[in-house]
């Protein structure tokens, strides 16, 4: 019989390397056997504990498989619902955020009254948030979905331990969306397309009132309105700038450019 490719490759190993290979392989098999022998996998509890063991060892695919087995083979056991949630948690832990998003969404739809639904809502928003690109020049549509769930958490569970962090993530998402709108508005302004710039500034101020660069957006809106001949809007934006950010550099620039306050 012709030697297999694996046998052929092992033949070229030094004795110490071959010994290391066989010992490592033996320990891997032994570990797998011992894990399975430690728990009665014919029971939902045993399957659940084996899944937890895999998760602890960072064998995430195996953990997801075993938690799913608990849910599918023992749907009426007390471990089934928890296993369903743990599938989502493991996907999140392994940074498979799309899979985590779907898993949390499904759990939320199937168990809307679950005692940890605040946690599920938070993790759902975070799964969307963690899919956002690192730069504003790419698609940011998932930011709106993340904000939706962060807001739901705050409105429905105001005393939840996850509210503070969810609001911090919401502000980060708003900053990304606001930065993108500001960039586009400034681009139009530089091109002297003042109507388009004004529309972008107005959308930014309307949709993201908590945007941290609100003073800059108000100044840009007032300037765009001025050059677009929208004097009523210009005065409205200037009044808002002076009232909301009276000591800002942008308010100083507006006074220098447009004279006395309206």
Higher confidence at residue 14 or residue 156?
156
Gap between the Cα atoms of 75 and 71, Å rounded: 5
Gap between the Cα atoms of 47 and 51, Å rounded: 6
Query: How confident is the model over 173-221, as pLDDT tens digits?
Result: 999 999 999 999 999 999 999 999 999 999 999 999 889 999 999 999 9
- Which numeric CATH code is attached to 95-179? 1.25.40.10
Class of domain 191-262: mainly alpha
Sort residue 58 into left (φ over 0), alpha (ψ -120 to 50) or beta.
Answer: left
Gap between the Cα atoms of 70 and 230, Å rounded: 64
Asked if domains 95-179 and 191-262 share a fold, the reply is yes
The residue-averaged pLDDT of 136-140 equals 94
Domain boundaries, the chain: 38-94, 95-179, 191-262
Return the closest-CA partner of residue 86 out of 114, 120, 35, 57: 120
- Report yes or no: 173 and 129 within 8 Å, Cβ to Cβ: yes
Q: Where are the alpha helices (DSSP H) in 74-133?
A: 80-93, 97-110, 117-129
Q: Flag whether pLDDT at 8 surpasses 60.
A: no
Per-residue tokens: 202: 């107005």
Q: Binning pLDDT at 50, 70 and 90, where does residue 36 land?
A: low
Q: Scanning the structure block, which residue is given the tokens 């639904």? A: 117
Q: Torsion over CA of 115, 79, 92 and 62, rounded to 10 degrees? A: 180
């Amino acid at each position: 019989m012709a030697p297999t490719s694996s046998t052929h490759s092992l033949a070229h190993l030094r004795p110490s390397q071959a010994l290391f290979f066989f010992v490592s392989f033996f320990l891997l098999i032994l570990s797998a056997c011992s894990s399975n022998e430690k728990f009665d996998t014919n029971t939902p509890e045993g399957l659940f504990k084996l899944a937890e063991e895999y998760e602890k060892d960072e064998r995430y695919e195996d953990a997801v498989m075993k938690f799913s087995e608990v849910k599918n083979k023992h749907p009426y056991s007390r471990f089934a619902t928890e296993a369903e949630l743990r599938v989502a948690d493991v996907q999140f832990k392994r940074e498979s955020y799309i899979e985590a998003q779907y898993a949390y969404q499904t759990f939320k739809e199937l168990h809307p009254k679950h005692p940890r639904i605040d946690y599920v809502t938070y993790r759902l928003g975070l799964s969307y948030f963690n899919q956002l690109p690192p730069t504003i020049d790419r698609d940011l549509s998932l930011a709106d979905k993340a904000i939706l769930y962060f807001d739901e958490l705050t409105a429905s569970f105001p005393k939840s331990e996850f509210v503070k962090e969810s609001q911090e993530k919401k502000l980060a998402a708003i900053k990304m969306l606001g930065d993108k709108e500001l960039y586009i508005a400034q681009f139009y302004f530089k091109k002297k397309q003042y109507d388009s710039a004004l529309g972008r500034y107005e959308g930014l101020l309307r949709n993201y009132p908590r945007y941290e660069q609100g003073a800059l957006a108000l100044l840009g809106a007032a300037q765009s309105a001025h050059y677009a001949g929208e004097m009523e809007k210009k005065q409205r934006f200037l009044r808002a700038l002076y009232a909301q950010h009276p000591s800002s550099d942008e308010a100083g620039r507006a006074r220098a450019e447009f004279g006395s306050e309206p």
